[in-house]
Amino acid sequence: MTWIYLNDRFVPHEEAVVSVFDHGFLYGDGVFETLRAYRGRVLLLSEHLARLERSASRLALQLPVSLESLGKLIEASVERNHLPEAYIRVTVSRGPGEIGLDPALCKTPTLIIIAKPFRCYPDSFYTDGVGVAIVRTRRNLPEALPPEIKTLNFLNNIFAKIEATAAGAYEGVMLNHREELTEGATSNLFIVQNGRLRTPGLECGILEGITRGVVLNVAKGLALPTEEARLYVADLFGAEECFLTNTTHEVLPVTKVNGQPVGTGRPGQITGRLRASFLAGLDRLLDRL
């Protein structure tokens, strides 16, 4: 049986239901975080909780419990479901209320914590790499929907995923209104050019990924030159290596863009070093909790 934490208690998954009047369902009004547990311990829990709080604050959404209590509930969800390796999703919505956009219509936020067994990706993802496609869907204007908010309204990313799938690619890479590279539908983007690790800067309109930050620190520890910059399609096609980062993929090699090989068409050496260093440093990151 899978146990879900809903509002103030653990319930069996078949009883974990929310109101049809919940504004998260009606309007996508809410925030979420995706986390991962290794050997029963949640990776970078405090960083994820801090980002959840920042996202909620931007929406003027009060978290229903303290960050300390929420962290304990997340850990309890992993333990209660007996999960050494876990995928965790924390959702906080505006909660149920009358139909209408006014947040004041909702008196109590809805809190959901889902902890499920983590299903490993195929080995081929890391030995052979994956393909990405540059999609027509543009990243939301920061002035329209600030990218630092990890909101339940994910339609921009869903459009990108639909396009990528139709093109036979694993991930869709979005440009912004200035034709700059931003990020994937669910990932941050990195390239290697002339031995330098480069990634779109925050000013390009991206979500500041937790794993993205770890990889930048790992690169500095390896004395690899790094740069957060404005990058363009030509940079991606001219890259020697490319990879994606997020909580579940960790460091995922990209070997094709729009069907064309990246570099040699195989996962690159720098990508491999970064992935190996990331995995080697997991214990240290887990011990920070």
Any idea where the domains of the chain sit in the sequence? 3-117, 124-287
Is it true that domain 124-287 has CATH number 3.60.15.10?
Answer: no
Strand order in the sheet with 41-42: 9-12, 3-6, 110-117, 86-93, 30-38, 41-42
pLDDT value at position 56? Answer: 98
Instruction: List, for residues 256-266, the tens digit of each pLDDT value.
Output: 999 999 999 99
Asked if residues 61 and 109 have their Cβ atoms less than 8 Å apart, the reply is: yes
pLDDT value at position 285? Answer: 82
**pLDDT class of 288 with cuts at 50, 70, 90:** low
Q: How many CB atoms lie within 10 A of CB 108?
A: 12
Alpha carbons 172 and 183: distance in angstroms, whole number = 8
Facing residues of 133 across strands? 172
Which whole number is the average pLDDT over 31-45? Answer: 97
pLDDT value at position 219? Answer: 97
Instruction: List, for residues 148-169, the tens digit of each pLDDT value.
Output: 999 999 999 999 999 999 999 9
- Residue owning tokens 């937790």: 210
Helix (H, G, I), strand (E, B) or coil at 185: coil
**pLDDT class of 287 with cuts at 50, 70, 90:** low
Within 8 A by CB and 6+ apart from 67, the residues are 49, 50, 53
Copy the structure tokens of residue 148. Answer: 């630092």
pLDDT value at position 286? Answer: 83
Please check the confidence at residue 284 and state whether its pLDDT lies above 90.
no
pLDDT value at position 283? Answer: 83
Instruction: List, for residues 96-148, the tens digit of each pLDDT value.
Output: 999 999 999 999 999 999 999 999 999 999 999 999 999 999 999 999 999 99
218's enclosing H/E stretch is helix 210-221
* pTM of the full structure: 0.95
Mean pLDDT of the chain: 96
CA dihedral 154, 112, 208, 132 (to 10 degrees): -50
Alpha carbons 253 and 224: distance in angstroms, whole number = 17
Looking at domain 3-117, its CATH class is alpha beta
Instruction: List, for residues 47-85, the tens digit of each pLDDT value.
Output: 999 999 999 999 999 999 999 999 999 999 999 999 999
Q: CA 100 → CA 17, 21, 96, 153, 197, distances in Å?
A: 21, 10, 11, 16, 46
Please check the confidence at residue 289 and state whether its pLDDT lies above 60.
no
